Every structure is written in structure tokens, then in C-alpha cells.
Structure 1
Amino acid sequence: MTSTSSTDLIPHIERGLADLRDLVALQSVSAQGRMLPETAAHVTRLLEAEGFTVRSYPGEVAPVLVAEAGEGSATLLIYNHYDVQPEDPLELWDSPPFELTERDGRLYGRGASDDKGELASRLAAVRAVRERHEGRLPLRVRWLIEGEEEVGSPSLERFIAEHADELRADGCWWEFGGISPEGRPVASLGLKGVMGVELRCRVAASDLHSSLGAVIDNPLYRLARAVASLRDETGRVTIPGFHDDVREPSDADRAAIARIPGDGQPVRDTYGVTRPLATGSAYHERANLMPVVNVNGWGGGYQGEGSKTVLPAHGFVKLDFRLVPDQDPARILEVLRAHLDAQGLEDIEIVELEAHQKPARADAGHPFVRACIEAAGEAHGAEPIVHPSSAASGPMHPFTYHLGVPCVALGIGNVGGRVHAPNENIVREHFEKGVAFGVALLERLARE
């Protein structure tokens, strides 16, 4: 494959990096409600400067922006978000989290990858295409940018349902994507769903002396029983009925997975993994297609130094379920409740956390999907790696359900990008490639 020449993109790349520096400086932490209106206003100004008409709508947590520009027979919908995760723990950052810092070809800062780097690289691509076409966009671009993604996008599904007419498109360019260590673009055609819950158990009004453990049950033991009953040693969920609605992968899905190189070793190396559940050919099949349950955190009882002989009054466990088409979070809650009751754990309360996301997956043969894959190959000069589904989750289902559009995730992330963690980063060269891909995609869609 031949890569797109990027000589004429240099000014747009540099301006895009300046945009990213300004965006990273805005501490738009949705979990804490920090600087969300200010960041929405800044993004609005950036878009309006490139000829977009921008409408701002109130959300439950932050403004939702819908922008539109260009004309033509093709319509591209772009989805991004301007909110970021909290920077904690601050002491683990090697440079200030809200100050874009370059070291050894990488750019560090909260949101550098997720999702402000993606937003800035795409805006740079729009500028470049406008310049090539004497100030106009040769296709219609609709851009939805929210500020609630990092807290589960609680406003998004209803918003998309109510504003479907102004969001219609031929396809959606999703908010993230990656580049492999070998320099190949990595495309994801879907996302797993996610459901976060907290299991709570209380046995007394206050903590008791541990000598009473002979006659009073322990909430942490009951929670341990509950958690141990949810999966087996291979990671497969053991809740009766949990797998009933799982959609069988298509032949195209399995063929795409068979072509994915590697077995996850870069991930294991980056994070120092000592207990992998899958290697070899099973790694990518499970990451794409397997629903899982995760224990996110556990609390209760004495957590301090040394010993305290106490029988805790209460405890909790935080869980998330990663779901695949056609699993429904509401149905999963039902079978989870029935499963706990069958174990004699009726006293364990299930509390839903944040907004749930349903799974989504695009047809690998859709013309928009093919156009994205071909543009990625052109821009990167390398054959794309195609995942039928990302192992991650996000609010893709409302786009596929209410708008009927296929969604393709292609972007500038890297396996060592430490998204959601200290020292979040992108590779500078990947930002440049991301701009080139955006140009190639916009031009290809305008032609086709």
C-alpha cells in the first residue's frame, strides 16, 4: 500500500497540536463537574472558526454539541467527547497532567489520547480538506461532541433519539482507535456493552467484636461467596441464563479475528501482567467476542495498619459486566438477582451504578466500513487490523439503533498510551498519521 503524502499537512498538524495543547489545559473532569461549560465553549469556537454551525444543548452533566458544515451527497457523522478522567493519583505523573509535555516522541497529558487528541487530529484533517477545496468541504460533516462519556453518557441515548433527523449520516467515525506497535492502523467495528453494579451486604447496625463471628454471619464472607459464584477459573461467567441471548459471530467476524496478528504480548509487557487468562489464538477471540464480569473494588471492615479484631457490619463489591450483542443490561440484572437468590444470598442488595451501555457491532461488508478500512490503508501505508468488536465499551448502541449507521473506530491511540491512568500519552507520529487518515477518509467519502 502507498501512504498519503503528508508534506502539505505539516502546517495543519502543527496547528492541531497547538489546539491539543489548549484542550489539555482545560480540566474538563466530568466525574467532578470541572470546567465542562468552559471546555464546551472552547470547542465551539474551534469548530465555528472552521465554518461549522454549532448548536449547544443542555445535558444532565455537561453540554452536548452538534456541529454541521459542508455539502455534498455523502454525509459523515463524527462522534467525540471533550470530558476526561480525573488525574488521580497525581504523584504518579512524571509531568503536570494538564500541561501537554513532549518527551522522546510522545505527548503526555490528561486527554492527550482520550479524547482530545482524537478531536484535535480530526479538526486538523477538516482544515486540510477545506484548504484543498478552496475553503469548502466537499461532503456534509455532522459532528456530535459530548462532555459526559467518562461518566457513562447519561444524556446521550435520549438525545440521539430526539435529534435523529439532524444526525442522520452514511456512517459514523467513532471517537477512538489505535495504531499497533508495528505501525498498522487498528479498526474496531463494534463495542461491548457495559453494566456497572455494586453488591451490598449488611448484617448489623454497627461493627461488632470478632468473637461474635461464631454466632453472627460476616458480610464480607457473604460477598466473597457471591463473587466466587459469578465465574469459573477460565473467566467464563457462570450465572444461569447469562449467555442465552449472545449473538453468534458471523463468518466475517471470525475471519477478521483470524487475521489479527499477535497474542496480546504487548499488553502483558506494558502492564506487567502475571496471570493472563488467554494467550495465542484465543486472546483476540475472547477480547472481541466473550462477555465477562470484573471485580473493580472491594470494601468493608478494617483497612488500616496492623490488626483490628472486628466483625464488619457491612461491605460492598463493585462489579462491571462487559456484554456482547444481543445481551441487554436489564436482562442481565434479572439473571444476576435470580442467581444470588438461588445461592441463598437474598440479603445482598444490587445497586446499579451510572448509565449502562448496550453492545453494538457493524457489518464488516458495509460500504462505509470498507471505505474506512481502505482510507486507513492509504494513509498509513500498511494493511489495517480489523477487530469486529473492541474489548472496551461506550455509547455506540444508540447510534446503530436510532440512526441505523455503522460505526468504525479508527484513531491515534497506542498500546502504551495509559488511557485513564497517570502519564496518558500519544505518539507524535501517530497524531500526524491520524490527520492523514482523516484527510483520506473525507476525500474518499466525497468521491464515492
Structure 2
Amino acid sequence: MTSSLPTPADLSTHIGRGLSDLRDLVALQSVSAQGRMLPETAAFVTRLLEAEGFTVRSYPGEVAPVLVAEAGEGPATLLIYNHYDVQPEDPAELWESPPFTLTERDGRLYGRGASDDKGEFAARLAAVRAVRERHGGRLPLRVRWLIEGEEEVGSPSLERFVAEHAQELRADGCWWEFGSIDPDGRPVLSLGLKGVMCVELRCRVAASDLHSSLGAVIDNPLYRLARAVASLRDDGGRVTIPGFHDDVREPSAADLAALARIPGDGQAVRETYGVTRPLATGPAYHGRLNLAPVVNVNGWGGGYGGEGSKTVLPAHGFVKLDFRLVPGQDPARVLGLLRAHLDAQGLTDVELVELEAHQKPARVEAGHPFVRACVAAAREAHGAEPVVQPSSGGSGPMYPFQALGVACVAAGIGNVGGRVHAPNENIVRDHFEKGVVFGVALLEGLSRGE
């Protein structure tokens, strides 16, 4: 075994094998929202892990199997969390190559799951192979791996599963399922996730659509919904539901110090996606992205949306919303506040329907030993100072692990133009290679107690 960190060239065989794994994984259409190919993908992931010496146990979930794997022995225990399910490919016509065929163009690899989350899993497995080879076929630390197939539908099985299998999942730290590399090549580490609550507002005024002339005497469900949505936030994006901000935990000194060191103000995101109405730029950008709760309108339906006009009074309509929450906020309480707010606006006829499983927010302190280990590995692997975010702007089922006392850090291979959840999802090939190097650095560092 050599103690020096290998380069991507040194790891070319493992990187090539990892990309082959990714190609096979992308071909498996494991869309959890539609129940497609979930058992088949779980079985394939199991075979990949068993080939590397892992003992894999499969447990039934509400939607898909939950896998727990373990291998290695040593003074440190690393828990890795990934998921094998993906988002639907729709709208399929916007893909420039088949969504379930990994396709390389100009240094990027395109395919559903290439980034979220099959690319992350494949890069990490390649790192495990490399470390085993460096240590004569053994892992110098205990690696526990939880891989689920329900993350894209809110992980409905996970909170109970983690609580019931606490002893199997104890670890010194958890390497979370995603992360990114910024346009300047700096690794971005997130120390938490926002909670999420997805709901649908529905309103019905009649058994069927009516002639629009009757709008003079019959209310319009789309107007009712528009009034409801307009009451939820101000023009600056601040949520205006009474009591919504009461439980928000104040950021720590370490949180604020980490924010002050984050470069940029979101310009790369605005340029990549052609943003015309940013809500925050300058110093406020990272503060709001990391620490501020928000409500989003995800979709709106009802009435006529075809070519030309159709003078109709819709019978019903709907609006889909998600709330991104921060530590201190509980989705169940926010749901109650939302219902009370709608009622106070005279909108008792607007039905409030919960969608998928809610997730609570989670965040670890920047000074935690596992955070320091991840920062050191990222610095060594990328040759650049990592960007440490107190929290991702996104959400995921991190809270159950935090409740066990396991610190979670997100570090991975995504990129600002990765189009996660959208057509033409992609990773940068060089980022995949650096992700394997980071995995080797993290595993080796933890095995040495660093």
C-alpha cells in the first residue's frame, strides 16, 4: 500500500469500471413515482456491492426495497447514504439523447440519474474498490451503506427504518448522497438540508365547467386559488403566514462565519438558467439560500390551456406547493399554520391535501470532527479550498440520521449546469474522476483517524 493520494490517472481502471457501472445503472428505469424497475435496480445494486465484499440485507419499503450493506473493519465507521430511484424523464421530447442511455458529449455524461443519484453511488463504489486494492483486498475501516429506492417520492419508509435499525447504522459520520463542484473547480460541501413539505390546494365550484358568462354570478376556482397563493408570500419572497417564522432557529456563529467565506452571489446559476427575476443577489444570496425558509409554486392547473380562447368558467383547479423549512420548524406545525391562514382569509373552501412524506430540516455544526475530515479530504483531492455551506437549499431525509447522533456531510460530483430533475441531466466526466479521488482520500483519512 502507498500512503500518497492517487491521481485520476492512477485510478483510471477503477474510474472506467465506475463509468461502466453508471452506464448499466442509468439503463435501469427506476422511476419511483411510477413504480418502474425498482426491484430490478435494487437487485443490481446488491450484486455490485456483494462483488466488493459487502454483506447486503434487503428490507421491504412502502415503495421499494431498502438495502443495508456492510464491509471492512477498523477504528472508524463511515455510513454512506445513497438512493437508486430517479425522477421521471418527462418531458421526454426535450432530451437531446435518450434519457436512459448514458451519453457523452463535450466532456459531460447525460442520462437520468447520471447525477442524482446513480453517478454519486458509482463514483463512491469505485473509490471503495480502489481503497481495497491499496490495502491488499481489505477495507481498513468499517463502511456501512444505506441505499433506498424511495428518495424521489419523499422517503416514506426511511424515518421509521432508521429508528428501528439504529444499531446497524451507528457511525462516526455519514457521507450524504449528493454534493457539487463549482465553476471554478472548488468542491462544495453542505452541512445540512432544509426540510420539505409538499401540498396541493384544490378548489371546486361546480360539478362541471360552465359558460364564462356565468362568472358574473358564480365564483371562479382559479381566482380563489390565486388569492390563496398571493397571500402566502410578499414580493420579496418572504413567507407571510402568521407564526411561520416563530420557530426558526437562529444561525450559529459558525454558520455565519461559513457564510461569509462562500464566494460569489449566484451569478453562475443565473447565467446558466437565464434567470430574469432573482430574489437575492450580493451578500444576501447565500444567507437566504442556506438559512431562509421559502414557499414555492410548483404547478397550477384548471380550465382551458389549449390554442386560442375558450370562454369557460372552470369547475375546479389546483395548485401544487412546496415549503422548504429550516432547523426549528416542524412540517406538521407549518401545515396547521397554513390551514389556519387560509381559513382566516375566508378560503375555507380551498382544500389542503398533503403530498408525499414530509421531511424535517437538519444541520451539523461546522466544527464537528467528521466535517473537518470531509473538508481535509476535499482539499487534498481537488487541490482547492472547499466551499462549506451551512445548509443546502435542497431537501432530503437527513433528519433521521441526525436524530441518531450521526453527523451528515454532503460532498459529491454535481455541477451548476447538471439539470437535476430536468431533461438533459448530466455530470462532468472530470468531476466524476475527482469524486473517486475524494472518496479514496476520505476513506483513507478516516482509517488513519484523521
Q: Same fold (TM over 0.5)?
A: yes
Identity %: 86
**2:436: which partner in 1?**
435
Give, in whole Å, the separation in 1 of the partners of 2:94 and 2:203: 34
Decide whether aligned partners of structure 1 residues 387 and 26 sit closer, same or farther in structure 2, where only a CA change above 3 A counts: same
Match of 1:333 among 332, 335, 342: 335
The answer to whether the Cα contact below 8 Å between 1:3 and 1:377 also exists between their aligned partners in 2 is no
Give, in whole Å, the separation in 1 of the partners of 2:45 and 2:372: 30
**1:170: which partner in 2?**
172
The aligned runs of 1:82-161 (5 Å cut-off) are 82-161=84-163
1:349 equivalent in alignment to 2:376 = no
1:379 equivalent in alignment to 2:377 = no
Give, in whole Å, the separation in 2 of the partners of 1:100 and 1:213: 51
How big is the shift at 1:3?
7.3
Give, in whole Å, the separation in 2 of the partners of 1:174 and 1:381: 21
Match of 1:285 among 275, 287, 299: 287
Match of 1:196 among 195, 198, 205: 198
1:37 equivalent in alignment to 2:74 = no
Question: After TM superposition, what 4+ stretches of structure 1 lie above 4 angstroms from structure 2?
Answer: none
Q: Deviations over 1:152-178 (max 9, x none)?
A: 111111111111110110110000000
How big is the shift at 1:307?
1.8
How big is the shift at 1:311?
1.4
Q: Deviations over 1:354-388 (max 9, x none)?
A: 11111000111100110011111001000000000
How big is the shift at 1:7?
3.5
What is the letter of the counterpart of residue 380 of structure 1? H
**2:303: which partner in 1?**
301
What SS class does the counterpart of residue 420 from structure 2 fall into? coil
What is the letter of the counterpart of residue 230 of structure 1? L
Give, in whole Å, the separation in 2 of the partners of 1:413 and 1:88: 21
The answer to whether the Cα contact below 8 Å between 1:138 and 1:446 also exists between their aligned partners in 2 is yes
What SS class does the counterpart of residue 7 from structure 1 fall into? coil
Q: Deviations over 1:89-141 (max 9, x none)?
A: 11111111111111111111111111010000000000000011111100000
Q: Deviations over 1:267-319 (max 9, x none)?
A: 11111111010111111110000100001111111222222222111111111
What is the letter of the counterpart of residue 168 of structure 1? R
Give, in whole Å, the separation in 2 of the partners of 1:90 and 1:154: 27
How big is the shift at 1:213?
1.5
Q: Deviations over 1:217-240 (max 9, x none)?
A: 111111111110000000000000
1:425 equivalent in alignment to 2:416 = no
What is the letter of the counterpart of residue 232 of structure 2? L
The alignment's C-alpha RMSD in Å is 1.0
The aligned runs of 1:21-60 (5 Å cut-off) are 21-60=23-62
How big is the shift at 1:4?
5.1
Give, in whole Å, the separation in 2 of the partners of 1:56 and 1:154: 16
**1:416: which partner in 2?**
417
The answer to whether the Cα contact below 8 Å between 1:323 and 1:359 also exists between their aligned partners in 2 is yes
Q: Deviations over 1:47-74 (max 9, x none)?
A: 0000000000011111100000000111
The answer to whether the Cα contact below 8 Å between 2:78 and 2:175 also exists between their aligned partners in 1 is yes
The answer to whether the Cα contact below 8 Å between 1:50 and 1:127 also exists between their aligned partners in 2 is yes
Give, in whole Å, the separation in 1 of the partners of 2:306 and 2:106: 40
What SS class does the counterpart of residue 364 from structure 1 fall into? coil
More moved, 229-238 vs 295-304: 295-304
The answer to whether the Cα contact below 8 Å between 1:179 and 1:413 also exists between their aligned partners in 2 is yes
**TM-score normalized by structure 2?**
0.98
In structure 1, runs of 5+ residues without a counterpart are none
The answer to whether the Cα contact below 8 Å between 1:185 and 1:383 also exists between their aligned partners in 2 is yes
Give, in whole Å, the separation in 1 of the partners of 2:306 and 2:22: 42
What is the letter of the counterpart of residue 225 of structure 1? R
The answer to whether the Cα contact below 8 Å between 2:5 and 2:441 also exists between their aligned partners in 1 is no
Give, in whole Å, the separation in 2 of the partners of 1:94 and 1:216: 46
What SS class does the counterpart of residue 351 from structure 1 fall into? strand
What is the letter of the counterpart of residue 400 of structure 1? Q
Decide whether aligned partners of structure 1 residues 3 and 444 sit closer, same or farther in structure 2, where only a CA change above 3 A counts: closer
Aligned residue pair count: 446
Give, in whole Å, the separation in 2 of the partners of 1:437 and 1:38: 29
Give, in whole Å, the separation in 2 of the partners of 1:94 and 1:215: 49
Give, in whole Å, the separation in 2 of the partners of 1:353 and 1:384: 36
What is the letter of the counterpart of residue 418 of structure 1? R
What is the letter of the counterpart of residue 371 of structure 1? A
Give, in whole Å, the separation in 2 of the partners of 1:263 and 1:279: 6
Give, in whole Å, the separation in 2 of the partners of 1:426 and 1:7: 19
More moved, 179-188 vs 2-11: 2-11
In structure 2, runs of 5+ residues without a counterpart are none
The answer to whether the Cα contact below 8 Å between 1:121 and 1:435 also exists between their aligned partners in 2 is yes
What SS class does the counterpart of residue 70 from structure 2 fall into? strand
Give, in whole Å, the separation in 2 of the partners of 1:60 and 1:5: 42
